[in-house]
């Protein structure tokens, strides 16, 4: 046991340096390689990300519209057939509304911490941010929108697709049906393009992640469980 503690302490310090963008590109690459295979290291990194986000707790709450959940579930599943899905997601969505304020606003801090130059890089001053989280925080994705490029930069701190399944990202804007932004890759960071006609309609819109077959929904609409929903917030 005495031999394990120093190693864990070293990993905790290393995760903190990575979260703050203090590692060299080579060190960051080695750390990311370990993240893919070491769940305990991913937990340490997620704890650092949450601690950094907590620095914005004093910021005044800005709750999303109370009708967001019902609107999202109806547009995802439609009509009376959505009743079961809505009931299953109601409790975690209430939790999400309660904790959304600090989490969403904290994204500005997280995306501004000079992460290592690997993978798609978030904008320095995102026009919009969103936080998608499961009730048990088993899935946690931060999104920052680059208005100039018309793209969402995604940072997945926790969670992955189930075996033989895929995570698919959806944009719900206005009264439109959900629009797929693509299947999320295994990489922790990703970048997805928003269709040009929808770029001016992000205010009041939402992002959602659903569980889908490998390769994504075969119908062009969500077919599996909605795992996380997040309101898009203007910064």
Per residue in 161-215, pLDDT (tens digit) is: 999 999 999 999 878 889 999 999 888 888 999 989 899 999 889 999 999 999 9
Q: Is 221 helix (H, G, I), strand (E, B) or coil?
A: coil
Whether residue 130 is found in the same domain as residue 88: yes
Q: For residue 26, give its domain range.
A: 4-52
Whether residue 180 is found in the same domain as residue 230: yes
Residue 139 to residue 134: CA distance in whole angstroms: 5
Split into its structural domains, the chain has a count of 2
Whether residue 42 is found in the same domain as residue 115: no
* 153 has pLDDT over 90: yes
Reading the block at residue 133, the tokens are 């989280």
Whether residue 182 is found in the same domain as residue 70: yes
Whether residue 24 is found in the same domain as residue 121: no
| E-state strands within the chain | 128-133, 140-146, 151-158, 165-172, 179-183, 189-193, 206-213, 226-231, 233-234
Q: Is 148 helix (H, G, I), strand (E, B) or coil?
A: coil
Whether residue 43 is found in the same domain as residue 118: no
Q: What are phi and psi of 156, to 5 degrees?
A: -100, 110
Whether residue 28 is found in the same domain as residue 110: no
Which residues make Cβ contacts (< 8 Å) with residue 197, sequence separation at least 6?
none
Q: Is 128 helix (H, G, I), strand (E, B) or coil?
A: strand
Structure confidence by residue, pLDDT tens digits, 101-125: 444 444 444 444 444 445 566 777 8
Whether residue 223 is found in the same domain as residue 185: yes
* pLDDT band at residue 134 using 50, 70 and 90 as cut-offs: confident
Strand partners, 179: 171
Q: Supply the CATH number for residue 211's domain.
A: 2.60.40
Residue 201 to residue 191: CA distance in whole angstroms: 19
């Amino acid at each position: 046991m005495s031999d394990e503690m120093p190693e864990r302490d070293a990993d905790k310090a290393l995760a903190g340096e990575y979260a703050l963008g203090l590692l060299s590109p080579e060190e960051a690459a080695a750390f990311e390689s370990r993240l893919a295979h070491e769940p305990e290291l991913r937990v340490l990194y997620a704890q650092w990300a949450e601690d950094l986000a907590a620095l914005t707790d004093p910021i005044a709450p800005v709750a999303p519209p109370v009708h967001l959940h019902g609107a999202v579930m109806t547009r995802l599943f439609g009509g009376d057939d959505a009743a079961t899905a809505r009931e299953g997601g109601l409790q975690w969505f209430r939790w999400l509304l309660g904790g959304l304020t600090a989490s969403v606003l904290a994204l500005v801090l997280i995306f501004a911490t000079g992460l290592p130059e690997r993978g798609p890089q978030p904008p320095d001053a995102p026009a919009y941010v969103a936080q998608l989280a499961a009730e048990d925080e088993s899935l946690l994705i931060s999104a920052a929108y680059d208005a100039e490029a018309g793209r969402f930069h995604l940072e997945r701190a926790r969670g992955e697709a189930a075996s033989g399944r895929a995570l698919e990202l959806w944009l719900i804007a206005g009264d439109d049906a959900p629009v797929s932004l693509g299947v999320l890759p295994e990489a922790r960071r990703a970048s997805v393009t928003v269709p040009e006609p929808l770029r001016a309609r992000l205010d009041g819109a939402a992002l959602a992640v659903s569980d889908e077959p490998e390769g994504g929904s075969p119908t062009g609409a969500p077919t599996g469980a909605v795992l996380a929903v997040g309101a898009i917030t203007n910064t």
